[in-house]
Structure 1
Amino acid sequence: MRKILVVGAGQSGLQLALGLQSHGYEVTLMSNRTADEIRTGRVMSTQCMFHTALQHERDLQLNFWESQAPKIEGLGVSVAAPGSHDPGPTQRAIDWVGRLDGYAQSVDQRVKMAGWMDTFAQRGGQLVIHGAAVSDLDYFSRVYDLVLVSAGKGELVSMFGRDASRSPFTEPQRALAVAYVHGLGPRPEHPDYDAVRCNLVPGVGELFVMPTLTTSGRADILFWEGIPGGPLDVFQGVRDPGEHLSLTLELMERFVPWEHARTAGVELTDAGGVLSGRYAPTVRNPVAHLPGGGLALGVADVVVANDPITGQGSNSASKCAASYLAAILEHGEKEFDETWMRSAFDRYWATAQHVTKWTNAMLGPPPEHVLNLIGAAGSLPPVANRFANGFNDPADFEDFFYDPAKTEAYLASVTGAAADA
């Protein structure tokens, strides 16, 4: 029986460990926290997982919370009118909702990771609660057939060198601030289904609002992405959860009052329901060379860390785990050497490159043809729907988003079809 070590108990590490376990591999999972510590700790992320990523969980029968979590059937985009966040009423220049072909869901990672860790242990997996260091991996690389590193922060990540050719940014592009809340009211104009709301404030940042399942039931996530140094970049050093929520709401009132209007009954889900931080989007070399000559393969955020502006983190983690699982199963009894490791990553990168390209594009000011596309979606439902479904399959943006000529041709074809209907 092949022995595999997975370091890190997030979406990708746990999904991969449970998948390998189900195929008879002897899997050891290392986590720096117990399931109970995760369950009762601070929120770790925002997450809205779209159809393809959710299907990877279903394929492994790990969709334990599917019947409880809100079914997100739409994705809406609102754009504040230029200058409208100055004193006075704020208007929306653009406001529409696209329908998803398959629903999305969000499950608080405290719920999911703790539940999956318990499941892994109950199924006979070896769970080691220990914060791994490079020296640990040096030893383990001689004991295990394969070492996978899915812990996305700290000393271990530094083993994987930055790939400058795929990493255009050296500094964080957004200051991030998250609050999980109960009591958010519906939008007056909201359709009769759950939707993620993406609110874009040009030159300032973005607010994302998404329904989720948390430790205390259904909730909503309020997630600010602020341009560093701008008016949203005010959460550093804020330690009090109540102050964090107050700041969140004050900024909503100023910049997106149409969202603030439904916050009258809002309260934090719990004292751990806030998070803030920032990081530079980075693609890294997938193979780490350990001091003793061993190798480790990076997983998900360790090797491809995108800004969360396009909501792809947990989706990419699920897709990476599924891709690596398939590569491991196909490899059989052969050695997991560096050639195989790089081929496994290249297989994942074939999908991940589209996420990185789209996310990096969304971090900059939108060019005119993209503004035209987003604006046209307000009167052309097929455009709104296609844009929304790009969150599930970002590769589709190649055909209508980046190239002005392709965008123009696509809009012309949709307009023509609408005129003929």
Structure 2
Amino acid sequence: MGLQAHAYDVTLVSARTAGEIRDGHVLSTQAMFGPAQTIEREAGLNLWDAQVPAVRAMRATLIDPPGTASVAITGRLRHPQRSVDQRVKLSGWLELFEQRGGRVEYRSVDRAGLGGLARRHELTIVAAGRAELSGIFPRDPARSPFDRPQRTLACLYLRGVASPPDPAETHVRIPMVPGVGEVLLQPALTTSGPCTILLWEAVPGGPFDCWQDRPSPHDNLERSLALLREFAPWEHDLCEKAEPTDANATLYGAVDPVVRRPVARLDDGVSVLGMGDTVVVNDPVTGQGANSAARCADVYRRAILARGERPFDDSWMHETFEEFWAYARHATAFTTAMLGPLPPHMARVLGTAAVREEVADRFAEVYADPSGARWFLDPAEADAYLEAIGARP
């Protein structure tokens, strides 16, 4: 739509119509922080701001032993975070693109079909997420932090989750169980109104890793309540009277964190450019996927406009991706750190955040913009920061 606003001739290919997306299964979890929302707002695409819950704080709770909250960190965000069900967002944007005169072809595309598209257009961008078509972009081993998923995932959209009394403002809650996994409870907007997204991040082989049978929404809720009763009983009490938002309110799987090479050369020699999590995939534990996608779209849009009449050759494609990677590498580094056992310097920072509000707030802002995370990720800088604020490193 950004290119459309500048009179570019854009063809969008979608395997599903807006109605099919809206009425289909949950596509993701998502959490848009302030900087990414600014990108959408400047493009006039923030269509749901008046309806979506404004999340103003993040609360991470270390559970050790099961059932006991040993440490809690509450960090307030400078700008509210928001989450709109992608069934709502993508269908709404697709309809808006067509209302503005955009051309959409509703069909699936394989490698051969992609080649046909690329031959007919000056530039072809693949935004296929983690679907099969993403496999045409080779893995970049030097930038890929893992060679297998670090968590198995189970997601359920709920309505009727009660709010805790403290803190009073709307916030994301993240119970964390060492060696077992994480639970994220994210206020959001879905097709039927405000809701809470419950996401299980399970260490493979552990007690949270129990979703292989992909249960129905109601069976998922029953199993989730049993796990919450054992590991986070205060969250169980808040979710006890909740119910699934709809019959398609679940999503299961595992994310293989990977960075792919951004340019794929097809059989006839034509090249295409990968976008967003087609080429940079992070586990959702830090909520970076939707934010990185918005950044990528903005970088690509600006680069296309700046290119003018010059061809979108392979060199331009690589340079454009590297501009996005300058941001995305920080999101990857932050997510990688939060998936593993925390090294001592990060544990010291989080220990201080539990008792120092300014440290907790600064840690929350890492989620909003991980490019500023060096103070947390680098041992020397972390200790220097703690010393500077009078906390013992």
Q: Normalised by the shorter chain, which TM-score bucket?
A: over 0.9
The one of 56, 60, 80 equivalent to 1:103 is 80
Contact 2:156 2:197 in 1 (8 A): yes
| Equivalent position of 1:256 in the other structure | 232
The one of 181, 185, 195 equivalent to 2:158 is 181
TM-score, with structure 2 as normaliser? 0.98
1:110-134, Cα deviation, whole Å (9 max, x unpaired): 1111100000111111111111111
Write the distance in 2 (CA, Å) between the matches of 1:413 and 1:350.
28
Per the alignment, in what secondary structure is the counterpart of residue 391 of structure 1? helix
1:385-413, Cα deviation, whole Å (9 max, x unpaired): 00001111101111x21232322221122
Write the distance in 2 (CA, Å) between the matches of 1:39 and 1:407.
44
Write the distance in 1 (CA, Å) between the matches of 2:130 and 2:239.
33
| Equivalent position of 2:22 in the other structure | 39
Counterpart residue identity of residue 154, structure 1: A
Write the distance in 1 (CA, Å) between the matches of 2:226 and 2:343.
30
User: Are 2:393 and 1:410 aligned?
Assistant: no
The one of 59, 63, 66 equivalent to 1:76 is 59
Per the alignment, in what secondary structure is the counterpart of residue 389 of structure 2? helix
The one of 254, 262, 272 equivalent to 1:296 is 272
Per the alignment, in what secondary structure is the counterpart of residue 153 of structure 2? strand
Write the distance in 2 (CA, Å) between the matches of 1:406 and 1:95.
23
1:252, CA displacement in angstroms? 1.3
Counterpart residue identity of residue 19, structure 1: G
User: Are 2:133 and 1:156 aligned?
Assistant: yes
Per the alignment, in what secondary structure is the counterpart of residue 304 of structure 2? helix
User: Are 2:179 and 1:213 aligned?
Assistant: no
Gaps of 5+ in 2: none
Which stretch shows the higher mean deviation, 223-232 or 364-373? 364-373
Percent identity over the alignment?
45
User: Are 2:175 and 1:199 aligned?
Assistant: yes
1:151-200, Cα deviation, whole Å (9 max, x unpaired): 01333111100000011311111000111101111113x22211111221
1:146, CA displacement in angstroms? 0.3
Write the distance in 2 (CA, Å) between the matches of 1:259 and 1:138.
50
CA RMSD of aligned residues (A): 1.2
Contact 1:186 1:262 in 2 (8 A): yes
Which stretch shows the higher mean deviation, 93-102 or 313-322? 93-102
Counterpart residue identity of residue 183, structure 1: G
Write the distance in 2 (CA, Å) between the matches of 1:263 and 1:99.
23
1:60, CA displacement in angstroms? 0.6
Alignment of 1:216-227 (within 5 A): 216-227=192-203
- How many pairs were matched up? 392
Counterpart residue identity of residue 340, structure 1: W
1:150, CA displacement in angstroms? 0.3
Write the distance in 1 (CA, Å) between the matches of 2:347 and 2:236.
25
Write the distance in 1 (CA, Å) between the matches of 2:19 and 2:344.
49
Write the distance in 2 (CA, Å) between the matches of 1:412 and 1:160.
45
Write the distance in 1 (CA, Å) between the matches of 2:102 and 2:56.
36
| Equivalent position of 2:144 in the other structure | 167
1:230, CA displacement in angstroms? 1.0
Write the distance in 1 (CA, Å) between the matches of 2:275 and 2:378.
31
Write the distance in 2 (CA, Å) between the matches of 1:35 and 1:382.
43
Alignment of 1:316-331 (within 5 A): 316-331=292-307
TM-score, with structure 1 as normaliser? 0.91
1:416, CA displacement in angstroms? 6.4
Gaps of 5+ in 1: 1-17
Contact 1:380 1:414 in 2 (8 A): no
